[in-house]
Amino acid sequence: MLSAFPVRGPEALLSSYGLAGMEHTSARMSLSYMIRPAEGSDAAGVYAVEKECFPDPYPAVLLDDLIEKEQSRFFVAVEHGKIIGYTVATSDGTDGHIVSVAVDPRHRRRGIGRALLWTVTKKLTEEGVAEIHLEVRKGNAAGISFYEGMGFRRISEIKHYYVDGEDAWVLRRPTEPPSSSSS
């Protein structure tokens, strides 16, 4: 992964994306995308990913607004100049909310969602957020498994959360204190 953020070396990078022990050549091929903060010009690409991923996509105007207002917490995954995923979060001080994590279905199972979630979680932690929560469809077994694998735990449910009437799980996890060593 080419990153806009400092990295502590190849082994740390590979380990943080669940690729420890992988040969560096293979890892570079696996990490051919870049995670960077979203820009206004990314709006169309973000919306394209949104429509591919969700049966009830957020309106483009909402995503545009989030890119503008949550600029420091909105990240995109880019490969060959094309947006292939994004994540956005909000914060009210000590509580963070993951609004969305989306990866184009043609690019899943490559660690992109994990990298996006890790990046936005790191940002929230740096801002002093103590806990992060999100909502996920009760019927989204893959999504639930993904979030639980990233340390989130089911804490409650919201009945009829989605437009089509499906219920949602609310998942929450504490953040880890910022590291005292810097790189």
Give the pLDDT confidence of 37-91 residue by residue, as tens digits. Answer: 999 999 999 999 999 999 889 999 999 999 999 999 999 999 999 999 999 999 9
pLDDT value at 23 more than 60: no
CATH class of 2-131: alpha beta
Q: Mean pLDDT across the chain, nearest whole number? A: 84
Q: According to the model, what pLDDT value does residue 103 have?
A: 97
Question: Pick the residue with more confidence: 55 or 144?
Answer: 144
Gyration radius of the chain's alpha carbons: 16
Q: Could you state, in order of their start, the residue ranges of all structural domains in the chain? A: 2-131
- pTM of the full structure: 0.79
